[in-house]
Amino acid sequence: MQLLNRSLGEMNLSFKKKEIAFLKIAFSQGLYTSMLVSAMLCLLFFLRVKNLVTVGDFALILGLSSQITDHIWNCTEIMHRINGNSGMCGQYITYVLSPTEVKDKNNPVSLSVKRGNISFNHVVFGYHEKRIFFHDLNLEILPNEKIGLVGHSGSGKTTLINLLLRFYEPVSGKICIDGTNIGELTQDSLRMNISFIAQDAILFHRSVLENIKYGCINANDDDVIRAAKRANAHEFIKDLRFGYDTVIGERGVTLSGGQRQRIAIARAMLKNAPILVMDEATSQLDSITEMYLQETLDDLMKNKTVIIAAHRISTIAKMDRIFVFDNGAIKNCGSHDYLIQNCDTYKQLWEKLRC
Ligand SMILES: Nc1ncnc2c1ncn2[C@@H]1O[C@H](COP(=O)(O)OP(=O)(O)OP(=O)(O)O)[C@@H](O)[C@H]1O
Ligand SMILES: [Mg+2]
């Protein structure tokens, strides 16, 4: 509350400063124009007394000068608005154009996934230089293998995904796809080859159609509708006010969490990239919707290397292998049956979180 009060106070102060500056300009402008009009009136009276101007001239000059004063006032108003808006635009542009931390290397290679093999070799990483989180992370995912990531909250599941998508660079070690270090790739080509459904679905303040189409810009409307149907989203989309043309607000605020996730799933279906990464992609769906979606998700996973992080262990119990994370390290790995027998952490998670 204190913080909010302080920010509101600062905003109020800047607003007052701006309005006072405008008032000063308006006052001096008013003063000068009134002086100008008064001087002109005196001159006109003088010329009229001397019979140098007619009554018609008098009225015409007075009319014209009042029009000119009006225009000057309008110009000041417009300048005031332009100043305000250009300030706001400046702020947004700085935000949009701020350089990204991860940059492509010189002569980066474009990725074209042939097999879908992923490996982490001696990866060391921390969000802060002095606090290393992954000390020596090693894992190998085979082509078309379906991998589950489990672990308590904060154990490192999303961090592994962030590194694979190259949102961050490791301090040392290599992350390779089909043997190529992702640090050597163009970020665009890397992300083109990965369908990613984030923990918090990334949606834009655009229509539902455009949001789904973002997965494949060249897709046509029929493809979008087909993907939405497969993602169990078509029914609720067609009930929205303008159907597929409904604008869903900043980050999709006008939709429920489950609806946002289904749009993100439809987008991934349309993209159909060879690597599929899902981070709690179905956490906000009720069990019935998730059950309906399961068949579609199974279909989506076919012939792809898949990584799924989930709290709901039932979602990933049938994966080929499951990695159990504990505080930035892989504690164990294997099939569900193996882990139930051999990993206490997994057993605890399974007992607490299966539903
Ligand atoms: N952007 C960030 N900056 C700094 N620290 C972060 C950032 N993102 C995550 N962390 C920290 O890294 C650790 C691992 O977080 P991560 O998001 O990978 O956990 P998670 O296993 O995905 O958890 P959850 O199940 O809650 O999603 C946590 O201690 C977290 O606080
Ligand atoms: Mg996470």
Q: Is 261 domain-assigned?
A: yes
Q: Is 107 domain-assigned?
A: no
* pLDDT at res. 355: 56
User: Quick one: which atom of ligand 1 is closest to the CA of 149?
Assistant: 21
Say if residue 126 is in the same domain as residue 255.
yes
Say if residue 165 is in the same domain as residue 16.
no
User: Quick one: which atom of ligand 1 is closest to the CA of 128?
Assistant: 4
Q: Is 295 domain-assigned?
A: yes
Say if residue 259 is in the same domain as residue 324.
yes
Say if residue 332 is in the same domain as residue 209.
yes
Ligand 1 contacts CB of residue 327 (under 6 A): no
Domain extent for 89: 2-97
Strand ranges of the sheet holding 134-141, from the earlier edge strand across to the other edge = 134-141, 118-125, 172-177, 180-181
- Compute the distance from residue 158 Cα to the ligand 2 centre, in Å: 4
Say if residue 207 is in the same domain as residue 314.
yes
Q: What is the pLDDT along the chain (355 residues), one digit of tens a residue?
A: 788 888 899 989 988 988 888 889 888 888 988 888 888 889 888 988 888 888 888 888 888 888 888 888 888 888 888 888 888 888 878 877 777 778 888 888 888 888 899 999 999 999 998 899 999 999 999 999 999 999 988 999 999 999 999 999 999 999 999 999 999 999 999 999 999 988 788 899 999 999 999 999 889 999 999 999 988 899 999 999 999 999 988 888 888 888 888 899 999 999 999 999 999 877 767 777 777 777 778 888 889 999 999 877 777 888 999 999 999 999 999 999 999 999 998 998 888 766 5
Identify the domain boundary among 62, 97, 132: 97
Q: CA angle, corner 282, sides to 280 and 285, nearest 5?
A: 135
Q: What global pTM score does this model have?
A: 0.77
Say if residue 268 is in the same domain as residue 146.
yes
Burial of 172 (0-12, 13-18, 19+ CB in 10 A): exposed
Say if residue 127 is in the same domain as residue 26.
no
Nearest CA to ligand 1 atom 26: 153
- Compute the distance from residue 313 Cα to the ligand 2 centre, in Å: 14
Ligand 1 contacts CB of residue 230 (under 6 A): no
Ligand 1 contacts CB of residue 158 (under 6 A): yes
Bridge partners for 323 per DSSP: 149, 333
Say how many domains are in the chain.
Answer: 2
Say if residue 151 is in the same domain as residue 68.
no
Say if residue 129 is in the same domain as residue 224.
yes
Contacts 24+ apart (CB under 8 A), 81-86: 84/18
Task: Calculate the CA 209 to chain-centre distance.
Answer: 17
Q: Is 163 domain-assigned?
A: yes
Say if residue 68 is in the same domain as residue 152.
no
